[in-house]
Amino acid sequence: MTEYAVVIERSPNNFGAWVPDLDGCVSTGKTLEEVKRNIVEAIEMHIESLREHGESVPPPAAQVAVVQIGT
């Protein structure tokens, strides 16, 4: 199983998600759960499209970290 880092951002009306390792792979959803489901589907479709067009699929390289700051 391959794991890609996903960035999820909240906007006033919904959530947006993007994949740093897959240029142009984005999705939205009204809820956090929905955007998570949608980005998985977007990743699968993005990779399928790359393969269909004979392009290489970038391996996961981005890493995610949560840091604490003292403010």
Contact of 28 with 17, CB cutoff 8 Å: yes
Enclosing domain of residue 27: 1-71
Distance separating alpha carbons of residues 38 and 31, to the nearest angstrom: 10
Give me the half-sphere count of Cα atoms (radius 13 Å) on the Cβ side of residue 11. Answer: 11
Q: Domain with 53 in it: what CATH number?
A: 3.30.160.250
- Which of the four pLDDT bands, split at 50, 70 and 90, describes residue 71? confident
Instruction: State how many domains the chain has.
Output: 1
pTM to 2 decimals? 0.91
**pLDDT tens by residue, 3-45:** 999 999 999 999 999 999 999 999 999 999 999 999 999 999 9
